């Protein structure tokens, strides 16, 4: 205990261990390692302790102890985040609070179309529980088998269902949050209408763990689709892709639930590097779209609608080839190509990533302009623009030129040019009125980059909100905005 009567950092860590008991913490270097590094290996941190509380009361007690000792906290869910926000800083002066043991579904209310869950429930388990109640929880992304809802909320994750159902922000009705001083805010309301002042939950959604620890949430459910039709179509250029998007929306009676772009490079790398995937279309084309329509009515009308639509677009010369999945296995194969994009890129050497958005009407222009610009800067660079173009969100990833050693010095030299390519791509995005982070967040990766694209006024307001909730800066410091 120091002169001020506070516990030292070492004593605080010991108190936390005693509080949660032997099952509730990890400090062995081998066991700790998976919590210290993010999926792409871009950030590798250090920590004094990984603590795994089992209840909201435990989280509150841990945060209260940390607040007294001013010991920084890094909240973590499934550790699938792509901007380094969940990785502790390299100096090791922090604890990681993993929500993984808080994985209970507290209640399902089919009549209210809601579910109340703890923050550590894996997204796929939430989808399953909704299905068992004959409902749909529509958030869906490639990492759904391991990401956790607290992480999805804290990153305001997007994914492949945004077109019809919105981002995670649109799917949450209430939250329970442990604040940086250890108090518990019970905002677990299950109301669709609640106009009682500032909507506080929205601060924590997308807050990347910098304002508090989400411990539970009330989620919105939807009617379960009775028929889902999936197609893979081929197109000659990105202008045709976006024209087809507009037409498909209009023709589907608002039943379009996914519209995902995949370039030829994506088909090649997924079929080559991942097991059990086949190319659904025999010939090769420059661009493909995964298109899905669904309906909560099981009448067979969706299939007919899709067939008629595609026939008309082939006739019009916009769609050059395509296949409608004839079985669940064929649909799964098409989805595996889409969901395997991130993993497959890992086998193609260094990849410089951009998760950007522009108005949907400017997607084609963005892709054309940005591809030409990066190819002019580095001939042989392999752009891989893919993803949620129906939301105006392009994953504009750039694989290193072929022939370069994917593991060796060439990869490091290529990745060292990250900032240079960011400047090119983000400059084009800004000129088109877009965002340099459409869905992955800011974290560490874009913390400094964002200062060039947000106005001083927005940055000032963000700092003021951070300071109001976390005056000592102990909650995930150094993420989203630089520590003062
Ligand atoms: P983590 O990575 O553990 O944490 C992410 C952030 O949330 C950190 O800032 C962390 O501090 C904070 N956090 C975690 N839990 C809490 C909590 N309970 N309270 C407060 N803060 C917390 N993202 C998309 O948006 N769309 C996609 O389509 C998509 N696809 C992906 C595909 C793959 C293969 C991979 C690896 C990632 C993908 N991602 C995608 C990124 C990632 O899956 C999402 O950001 C996801 O929401 C993170 O959840 P998580 O539980 O892994 O969170
Ligand atoms: C996706 O849509 C993810 O698959 C990951 O957001 C994108 O690998 C990426 O950059
Ligand atoms: Zn994505």
- CA angle 6–69–62, rounded 5-degree value: 115
Distance 438 CA to ligand 2 centre (A): 11
What confidence score (pLDDT) does residue 125 get?
A: 98
SS3 state of residue 394 = strand
Q: How far apart are CA 104 and CA 126, in angstroms?
A: 10
Phi, psi angle pair for 112, to nearest 5°: -85, -5
Check pocket membership of 81 for ligand 1, CB cut-off 6 A. yes
Q: How far apart are CA 117 and CA 255, in angstroms?
A: 28
Q: Which residue has the tokens 């893979």?
A: 232
SS3 state of residue 455 = coil
409: CB partners within 8 A, 6+ apart? none
Distance 3 CA to ligand 1 centre (A): 40
Check pocket membership of 406 for ligand 1, CB cut-off 6 A. no
412: CB partners within 8 A, 6+ apart? 350
Distance from CA of residue 243 to its chain's centroid? 27
Q: Residues near ligand 2 with C-beta < 6 Å?
A: 142, 341-342, 353, 387, 395, 397
- Tell me if 24 sits within 8 A of 16, measured CB to CB: no
SS3 state of residue 297 = coil
Check pocket membership of 221 for ligand 1, CB cut-off 6 A. no
What confidence score (pLDDT) does residue 1 get?
A: 62
What confidence score (pLDDT) does residue 484 get?
A: 65
What confidence score (pLDDT) does residue 40 get?
A: 84
β-pairing verdict for 135-136 and 222-223: antiparallel
The pair of structure tokens assigned to 415 is 């990745």
DSSP structure string for 251-270 = HTTS-EEEEEEEEHHHHHHH
Considering only CA atoms, which residue is closest to atom 49 of ligand 1?
Answer: 151
What confidence score (pLDDT) does residue 390 get?
A: 97
Distance 441 CA to ligand 1 centre (A): 9
Check pocket membership of 159 for ligand 1, CB cut-off 6 A. yes
Distance from CA of residue 447 to its chain's centroid? 17
Task: With 0.85 as the threshold, say if the pTM is over it.
Answer: yes
Q: How far apart are CA 293 and CA 306, in angstroms?
A: 8
Q: How far apart are CA 167 and CA 156, in angstroms?
A: 6
Which residue from 151, 356, 388 has its CB within 8 A of the most atoms of ligand 1, so it is best to mutate? 151
Q: How far apart are CA 216 and CA 45, in angstroms?
A: 27
The one-digit pLDDT tens for each residue of the chain (484 residues) are 666 668 999 999 999 999 999 999 998 899 999 999 998 888 999 999 999 999 999 999 999 999 999 999 999 999 999 999 999 999 999 999 999 999 999 999 999 999 999 999 999 999 999 999 999 999 999 999 999 999 999 999 999 999 999 999 999 999 999 999 999 999 999 999 999 999 999 999 999 999 999 999 999 999 999 999 999 999 999 999 999 999 999 999 889 999 999 999 999 999 999 999 999 999 999 999 999 999 999 999 999 999 999 999 999 999 999 999 999 999 999 999 999 999 999 999 999 999 999 999 999 999 999 999 999 999 999 999 999 999 999 999 999 999 766 666 799 999 999 999 999 999 999 999 999 999 999 999 999 999 999 999 999 999 999 999 999 999 999 999 997 6
What confidence score (pLDDT) does residue 3 get?
A: 60
The pair of structure tokens assigned to 35 is 């919590």
CB-neighbour burial class of residue 440 (10 A; exposed 0-12, middle 13-18, buried 19+)? buried
What confidence score (pLDDT) does residue 406 get?
A: 62
What confidence score (pLDDT) does residue 407 get?
A: 65
């Amino acid at each position: 205990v120091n002169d001020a009567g506070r516990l030292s950092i070492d004593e605080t860590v010991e108190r936390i261990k005693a509080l949660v008991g032997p099952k509730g913490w990890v400090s062995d270097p081998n066991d700790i390692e998976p919590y210290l590094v993010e999926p792409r290996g871009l950030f590798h941190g250090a920590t004094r302790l990984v603590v795994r509380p089992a209840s909201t009361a435990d989280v509150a007690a841990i945060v209260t102890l940390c607040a007294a000792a001013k010991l920084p906290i890094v909240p973590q869910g499934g550790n699938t985040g792509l901007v380094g926000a969940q990785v502790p800083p390299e100096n090791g002066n922090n604890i990681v609070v993993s929500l993984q043991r808080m994985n209970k579904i507290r209640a399902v209310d089919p009549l209210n179309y809601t579910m109340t869950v703890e923050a550590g429930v894996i997204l796929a388990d939430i989808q399953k529980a909704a299905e068992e109640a004959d409902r749909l929880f529509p958030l869906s992304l490639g990492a759904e088998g391991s990401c956790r809802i607290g992480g999805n909320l804290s990153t305001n994750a997007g994914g492949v269902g945004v077109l019809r159902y919105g981002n995670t922000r649109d799917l949450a009705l209430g939250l329970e949050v442990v604040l940086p001083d250890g108090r518990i805010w019970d905002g677990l309301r299950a109301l669709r209408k609640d106009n009682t002042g500032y909507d506080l939950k929205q601060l924590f959604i997308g807050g990347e763990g910098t304002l508090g620890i989400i411990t539970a949430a009330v989620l919105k459910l939807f009617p379960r689709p009775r028929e889902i039709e999936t197609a893979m179509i081929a197109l000659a250029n990105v202008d045709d892709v976006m024209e087809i998007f507009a037409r498909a929306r209009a023709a589907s009676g608002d039943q379009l639930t996914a519209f995902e772009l995949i370039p030829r490079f994506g088909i090649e790398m997924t079929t080559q590097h991942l097991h059990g995937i086949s190319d659904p279309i025999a010939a090769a084309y420059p661009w493909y779209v995964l298109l899905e329509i669904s309906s909560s009515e099981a009448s067979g009308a969706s299939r007919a609608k899709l067939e008629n639509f595609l026939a008309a677009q082939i006739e019009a010369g916009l769609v050059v080839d395509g296949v409608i999945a004839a079985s669940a296995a064929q649909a799964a194969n098409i989805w595996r190509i889409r969901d395997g994009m991130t993993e497959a890129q890992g086998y193609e050497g260094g990849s410089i990533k951009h998760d950007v958005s522009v108005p949907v009407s400017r997607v084609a222009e963005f892709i054309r302009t940005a591809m030409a610009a990066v190819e002019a800067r580095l001939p042989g660079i392999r752009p891989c623009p893919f993803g949620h173009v129906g939301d105006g969100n392009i994953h504009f990833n750039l694989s290193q030129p072929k022939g370069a050693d994917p593991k060796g010095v060439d990869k490091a030299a290529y990745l060292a040019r990250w900032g240079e390519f960011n400047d090119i791509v983000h400059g084009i995005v800004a000129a088109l009125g877009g965002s340099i982070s459409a869905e992955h967040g800011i974290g560490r990766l874009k913390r400094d980059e964002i200062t060039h694209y947000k106005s001083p006024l927005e940055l000032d307001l963000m700092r003021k909100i951070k300071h109001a909730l976390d005056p000592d800066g102990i909650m995930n410091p150094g993420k989203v905005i630089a520590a003062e």
